[in-house]
A and B are shown apart, each in its own frame.
Chain A
């Protein structure tokens, strides 16, 4: 574990000490080496599940795919930000890269925490670098509003979580994830157990986001620069899913009753956000709402607490992380050329940038859950286990899948086909860096087809 954490932490002195000419290649190389070393975590060969242990930090088959995803994402963030930061002074570029590295350290520590309080502290800590990235390097004036929504929605959700965790520590004497499964169930009055359940889950439901508390997400994703959008969509949302999966073991009997409203909100959210996507004019906003829809399925999969549901949730989280990040990169390639996110103004790009169309095509197909990509595998497992939970969910999930397919195709056809606007000029051709970025996103996604077992987690 330290062979990943120490290099990531020392990315910060690296950025400040390298000369400007070698800054981006150096940071890219170091983060890529960290990403490649992190792949060794996928070898989970311990009987109890927990490997790479020290007293504070461990990995197990649930956290490993998420850790590898976040380590893989750091070089991609660096690669994606290179262009729009090139016009800024050197110290600002270094500040940006240091913020990303710091965020990465917090994410790694959050996913590998063995103690729930450490997870909580790191969960909160990830907010600060992300807030700084959104509000400082965003492009429109609305970024301030977006930062406030982002910060306060998550904080308001997570303050009750602190109280709930401290109460759990009081009752069971430990918050170590290693033994949380074996602790006595906490007995309390029915009403207080319901409040305690909401307190535990609230932070993660806001982070996922659940449909009713999702208002921060489109704002934050749209206003963030590309690296901010990528890390938000790919990793930070998954922090919520991971927290839910870890904490639901202690919430056992209350979940039977309490899960209903949230499963319903999540599934209805899939349909509603899908429909919202169909009438979006802003490209990044469309991708943001599609994230809410996919995460709604993940929330439903986690809340029903069956092995297939949890497995499907984990697979869908990883697949969605890669796909959503890829789509934000593609939207950024559009934005850097036309400086507008409006889809009407950036149409017909197949005639101008045909190679990028190939990446748009693959990313859109991944988004609409085309077999044999893991997006479909995750969704199918969640849908099957939901059907087993109650056959009526099929109405919502089926309609949701249909709407997902239609808005993904709509996004592809809107941006690629159709007439190229006549006033479009000075479109630089696709850079090799952008092709590399897309390949690094979509190649792992396609390789996962060959061995999805690495993503199954501890379940089947």
Chain B
């Protein structure tokens, strides 16, 4: 631990806190050091891009790009599971049949009333 120096822009992770690392194996500590070095390198690159006076465009975040792609392309990665099939049936198929039944019975009822002559035609502004 003595030769680990904090990167200028990175904070010391909790597992490298001296109070914590008495129980950690040397391999774990080495792995943590490497990971911390990678993270601080990424942060350094971001800060370099952020403060570059000649930068004209957005800084590309690969995680954001992946997320945007995932949100924009659901159909190519669609898998019919139990849950998706249920949702599809519940929101895509069943309402169409339910609405057809509702509208048809309503309109046929009105038709029957007209045929029987019982429809009360109130004054209507819109038609």
Chain A residues engaging chain B, CB cutoff 8 angstroms: 260-261, 263-265, 267-268, 272, 280-282, 285, 306-308, 338-340, 342, 344-345, 381, 384-385, 387-393, 396, 422-426
Cβ-neighbour of B106 out of A344, A390, A423 (below 8 A) = A390
Chain B residues engaging chain A, CB cutoff 8 angstroms: 50, 55-59, 64, 67-68, 71-72, 91-92, 95-96, 99-100, 102-104, 106-107, 124-127
Q: Which residue of B lies closest to A344 (CB)?
A: B64
Q: Is B127 a contact of A306 with CB atoms below 8 Å?
A: yes
Q: Which residue of A lies closest to B92 (CB)?
A: A272
B107 contacts which chain A residues (CB < 8 A)? 389-390
The answer to whether residues A345 and B106 also contact, given A268-B95, A385-B127 and a CB cut-off of 8 A, is no
Q: Is A426 a contact of B56 with CB atoms below 8 Å?
A: yes
How many inter-chain residue pairs (CB < 8 Å) link A and B? 70
Q: Is B72 a contact of A392 with CB atoms below 8 Å?
A: no
Min CB gap A343→B, angstroms: 10
Q: Is A264 a contact of B103 with CB atoms below 8 Å?
A: yes
Min CB gap A386→B, angstroms: 10
Q: Is A393 a contact of B68 with CB atoms below 8 Å?
A: no
B92 contacts which chain A residues (CB < 8 A)? 272
A–B Cβ pairs within 8 angstroms, 16 of them: A260-B103, A263-B103, A264-B103, A272-B91, A280-B71, A281-B67, A339-B58, A381-B126, A384-B125, A385-B126, A388-B127, A392-B102, A392-B103, A396-B99, A425-B55, A425-B56
Give complex CA distance A396, B102 in Å. 12
B95 contacts which chain A residues (CB < 8 A)? 268
B127 contacts which chain A residues (CB < 8 A)? 306-308, 385, 388
Task: List 8 tightest A-B contacts by C-beta distance, closest first.
Answer: A384-B126, A264-B99, A281-B71, A308-B126, A390-B106, A426-B56, A390-B103, A392-B102
The answer to whether residues A338 and B58 also contact, given A260-B104, A264-B99, A264-B100 and a CB cut-off of 8 A, is yes
A426 contacts which chain B residues (CB < 8 A)? 55-57
Q: Which residue of A lies closest to B97 (CB)?
A: A264
The answer to whether residues A267 and B64 also contact, given A281-B71, A306-B127, A388-B124 and a CB cut-off of 8 A, is no
Give complex CA distance A260, B55 in Å. 57
Q: Which residue of B lies closest to A421 (CB)?
A: B58
A390 contacts which chain B residues (CB < 8 A)? 102-103, 106-107
Q: Is B102 a contact of A282 with CB atoms below 8 Å?
A: no
A268 contacts which chain B residues (CB < 8 A)? 95-96, 99
Q: Is B64 a contact of A342 with CB atoms below 8 Å?
A: yes
Give complex CA distance A388, B107 in Å. 10
The answer to whether residues A345 and B91 also contact, given A281-B71, A282-B72 and a CB cut-off of 8 A, is no
The answer to whether residues A281 and B103 also contact, given A345-B58, A385-B127, A388-B126 and a CB cut-off of 8 A, is no
Give complex CA distance A388, B103 in Å. 12
Q: Which residue of A lies closest to B98 (CB)?
A: A264
B106 contacts which chain A residues (CB < 8 A)? 390-392
Min CB gap A216→B, angstroms: 13
Q: Which residue of A lies closest to B49 (CB)?
A: A423
Give complex CA distance A391, B105 in Å. 12
B59 contacts which chain A residues (CB < 8 A)? 423
Seed contacts A272-B92, A342-B64, A423-B58; 18 additional CB < 8 Å A-B pairs: A260-B100, A261-B100, A264-B103, A265-B96, A268-B99, A281-B67, A281-B68, A306-B127, A308-B127, A340-B58, A345-B58, A388-B124, A390-B103, A392-B99, A392-B106, A393-B103, A396-B99, A425-B56
Give complex CA distance A338, B64 in Å. 15
B71 contacts which chain A residues (CB < 8 A)? 280-282
The answer to whether residues A267 and B99 also contact, given A338-B58, A390-B106, A391-B106 and a CB cut-off of 8 A, is yes
Q: Which residue of B lies closest to A423 (CB)?
A: B59
Q: Which residue of B lies closest to A338 (CB)?
A: B58
Q: Is B96 a contact of A345 with CB atoms below 8 Å?
A: no
Give complex CA distance A426, B57 in Å. 8
Q: Which residue of A lies closest to B106 (CB)?
A: A390
A265 contacts which chain B residues (CB < 8 A)? 96
